[in-house]
Each structure stands twice: as C-alpha cells, then as structure tokens.
Amino acid sequence: MSSSVYTPKLPRWWWLHHAGYRRYMVRELSCIPIGVFAVMLIVGCWRLEQGPESWQAFRAALATPLALVWQLIALAFAVYHSITWFALAPRTMPLRIGARRLPASWIAGAHYLAWAVLSLLVLRIVGG
C-alpha cells in the first residue's frame, strides 16, 4: 500500500480560466501598487521633515505625468480592493442583534457610508 498523495499538475495560468479566480488574483495583486503608494507617503513624510526645499522637490516629483499615472493606478486598485472587501464584510463579520441576524446589505452599506463620510472629511480638510 502506497502512502503517496496524488497532487494534480496545474498549469501556470490556471486562475485565468475562471472569472472568480481572476477577480481574486487581481485583488491579491492590488497590494503591490497600494504598497508602493504607502512607501511614497512615508518618503513624503521623511522629505517634509528635511525642510521646505526637500518638500517642494518631492511635491514637484509627484506632479510629473508618470507619477500622476502611477497615483491613478494605485487609486483604482485601492477602490477595487475596498469594494471587494466591503462585499465580503457581511460574510467575515456577521452581526446579530439578539437572535436576529443583520441583513448583509446593512453591513456593506455601513462600510460604504463610513467610506463616504471619511472621504468627505478628508476632502474638506485638504481643500481648506
């Protein structure tokens, strides 16, 4: 009797054959541009600490066409990541009030509402 376990061979791009797997992989890969953007923010804080000239040079670098395109790509991935997470939220944290379960649409809606309110607050603070 053999104790080996059969492991089927999967092609390298197996996840391209199913829409659900593609969405999952895009969501997981979204961490790369979001992570690079986070590093850019850290560098911005460091440049701000170095003084006004360093900060202005950093701001000028962020205003180049390539940097603007990168920021839009990171924003698109962040929005996609947020939307997919909000869709999963009711399954990952089901809420009960007594014996009654809160509808999934309420949980996801609360996330979208918090996102909208926080976005408006940030825009108001940044916009002056």
Reported as a pLDDT band with limits 50, 70 and 90, residue 49 is very high
Q: For residue 96, list its beta bridge partners.
A: 101
CATH topology of domain 15-93: 3 helical TM bundles of succinate and fumarate reductases (1.20.1300)
pLDDT at 96 over 90: no
| CB burial readout 32-66, b (16+ within 10 A) else e | ebeeebeebeeeeeebeeeeeeebeebeeeeeeee
What is the distance between the terminal CA atoms of the chain, rounded to a whole angstrom? Answer: 75
Instruction: Give this prediction's pTM.
Output: 0.76
The pLDDT score that the predictor gives to residue 8 is 85
Cα separation, 33 vs 72, in Å, equals 10
Which residue did the predictor score with more confidence, 12 or 53? Answer: 53
Q: For residue 106, list its beta bridge partners.
A: none
Instruction: Tell me what the pLDDT averaged over the chain comes to.
Output: 91
Contact of 23 with 81, CB cutoff 8 Å: no
Is the C-alpha dihedral spanning 68, 80, 124, 122 positive or negative? negative
- The domain limits of the chain are 15-93
Reported as a pLDDT band with limits 50, 70 and 90, residue 93 is confident
